[in-house]
Amino acid sequence: MPSDEDIAAALMDLAHRRGRGKTLCPSEVARELAADWRPLMPRIRAVAARLHASGQIAITQNGVPVDPETARGPIRLGLPR
């Protein structure tokens, strides 16, 4: 099972590879880290929320910035503009 640091590194790496103005689904990070990726999803969202709080990641739904603590349903992650 990957650590939170492994998740953060994979998330930031994928966001940087994607580039500013582009987003990714948290499941893309999970799929890079484990064959059985679904159990990782809550941790990936939690790590993304911490990265968001530090200004490293933007979190959106339907292209609109959202609070990761209250957002329900699919979210997208990307580098802040």
Domains of the chain by residue range: 4-78
CB–CB of 2/34 below 8 Å?
Answer: yes
Class of residue 47 by CB neighbours under 10 A (exposed 0-12, middle 13-18, buried 19+): buried
How do residues 7-23 score in pLDDT, each as one tens digit? 999 999 999 999 999 99
Residue 44 has pLDDT above 90, yes or no: yes
Read off the pTM. Answer: 0.92
Question: What is the model's pLDDT at position 75?
Answer: 96
Q: How confident is the model at residue 63 (pLDDT cuts 50, 70, 90)?
A: very high
Question: What is the model's pLDDT at position 69?
Answer: 84
Closest by CA to 14, choosing from 53, 56, 46, is 56
* Domain 4-78 class, CATH top level: mainly alpha
- Percent of the chain at pLDDT exceeding 70: 100
